[in-house]
Amino acid sequence: MPREIITLQLGQCGNQIGFEFWKQLCAEHGISPEGIVEEFATEGTDRKDVFFYQADDEHYIPRAVLLDLEPRVIHSILNSPYANLYNPENIYLSEHGGGAGNNWASGFSQGEKIHEDIFDIIDREADGSDSLEGFVLCHSIAGGTGSGLGSYLLERLNDRYPKKLVETYSVFPNQDEMSDVVVQPYNSLLTLKRLTQNADCVVVLDNTALNRIATDRLHIQNPSFSQINQLVSTIMSASTTTLRYPGYMNNDLIGLIASLIPTPRLHFLMTGYTPLTTDQSVASVRKTTVLDVMRRLLQPKNVMVSTGRDRQTNHCYIAILNIIQGEVDPTQVHKSLQRIRERKLANFIPWGPASIQVALSRKSPYLPSAHRVSGLMMANHTNISSTHLLRLTKPQWPTDVGLVGSPSLQHIGILDLLGWGPIHLLCILWAHPHPLVPFSESRTPSARPKAA
C-alpha cells in the first residue's frame, strides 16, 4: 500500500515552484489540468495515490495545501488552466492580505495568530490519508512568509506529528546580486536554525546555481522566474520517481533519505541533474549512457548548489544516491561504478562507506523524452556548509513584532542561531586536517575517528 505525502506550499516562491511541480506530475501520470485521467493513460503501474487522491467524481486532487499571507500568486494559480485541479478548501489566504513584508519576525508572529485555521486544513488532509508518511514543504528562506511562517510551521509540525517525516525543498537567495530586501540575511539565518532542528531532510536549491545553469547550460540569457521554477520542478519530480514508479528499493520517503543522512543534523542535501536541455539544444547532448550520466552528475556545473566544489579542496562526499531513469541494464550500472572507482572521481569521508548508491526507476510512459537515460544525484557533501556561513553585520532586530528585549536574541552567536552541535561541526570540518580518501580505498576500523 502506498504511503501518502502531503505537500505544503508557502509564500510566493513556494506556491510558484509547487504549481510547476503539480503541472509536471500531471503530465507524467497522464492527468489533465482538470484532474481527469486522459484516455491514453491506460497503464496502471504507477502510484498516483502517493501525491493525489480521488474525489467522488473520480477526478484526481493533489494532496497539497496552499498557504500565503498575500493573494497575488494564489490568485494567479486560480486563474490558470489548473484552477480546478486543487481542493479549494486547502487554500488559505490571510484575511488582511498584507503579506509579511519580507520580514521573518512578521511571518512568524502571524503564524501564531492563524495556526488554528492552517492546522484545521492540515489535520483534515492528514486524517483523509490511509498511511501518511510525512510532509514536503516548498518555500524560500529569504522572504517573509516562506521563512517566518515556514519556521513556525516546522516547529508546530514536529510537535503535532512527531513520527512523520518532514522534507523541505528550500530555495536559497541569489548571492551574486544585491537584494532589495535589507533583512534577507537575517531571514535566512533564522530559518536555517529551524531547518536544522525541525526538518528531517532539506534539499537545498540555490538561486545562484539555478541562474548559472539556466544561463550556461540552457543558454537562456535572462531566465525568468517561470524557467527557474521549471528547473526546480524537474528536480522535485525526479527525486520522487521511485515513490511514484515503485521498484525493488527506495519505495518510500524514509528509504530514500535514510542512506543519505548519517546523523540527524547532517540532513542538508545538494542535487544535480543531467541532461538538462531545451528543445533547441537537444542535439547538443547526443549520448546518454549510464556511465556518461553518472560522470556528468559529479561535475560541479550540473549541481544545483553554488558551492564551488573543487577537487583540490579537502571537501568530500558523505553519501551519494543516483536515481537513474530509463531502460537501463544493471550490468551497465556495475561497470559504470567500477569505472568511477578507477578514475577516483568522487572523494568520500574517511569514517563512512565509500560507495555511490544507485536506484533504477522507470520513466513516465506518457511524457516523451529526447534522451534514453537521465539521472538525478542527491548528495550529502561537506561543502554544503558554505551556503550556511553568511557574513552578517551587527543585527538590528525589529521593534514592532515582539523581538526587542528578548534575551534569547541578545549577544547570540551565528552557530547558536543555526543550532549546530559539535558533531555537526566535526563532520563539516573533518576534511580539513585529514587527507582525502579516494572512492577506491576500502574502509578499515583504523580509518574511523578516535575518541578524545
What pLDDT is recorded for position 156?
A: 96
Specify the pLDDT at position 87: 95
| Residue 122 belongs to a domain | yes
Average pLDDT (174-203) is 86
Average pLDDT of every residue of the chain: 82
42 vs 46, 55, 218, 236, 365, CA distance in Å?
Answer: 11, 19, 33, 24, 10
Tens digits of per-residue pLDDT, 263-316?
888 999 999 999 886 554 444 556 788 999 999 999 988 898 886 545 446 788
- Residue span of the structural domain in which 87 resides: 1-199
Report the CATH number at residue 72.
3.40.50.1440
- pLDDT score for 403: 52
Whether 22 maps to a domain, the answer reads yes
Structural domain includes residue 74: yes
Return the higher-pLDDT residue of 411 and 336.
336
Cβ atoms 270, 386 nearer than 8 A? no
Higher pLDDT, 155 or 186: 155
**82 falls within a domain:** yes
Give domain status of residue 346, yes or no.
Answer: no
Gap between the Cα atoms of 105 and 409, Å rounded: 12
Asked if residue 35 is part of any domain, the answer here is: yes
- Provide mean pLDDT across the span 151-155: 96
* pLDDT > 80? residue 367: yes
Q: Residue 59 pLDDT > 80, yes or no?
A: yes
| Mean pLDDT in residue range 87-103 | 90
Mean pLDDT in residue range 415-442: 46
Decide if 59 is inside a domain: yes
Residue with the bigger pLDDT between 165 and 257: it is: 165
Interhelix angle 104-127/150-160, rounded to 10 degrees, is 40
- Total domains in the chain come to 1
**Model pTM score:** 0.86
Higher local confidence (pLDDT), 175 or 288 = 288
Residue 97 lies in a domain: yes
Task: Check residues 262 and 407 and name the one with the higher pLDDT.
Answer: 262
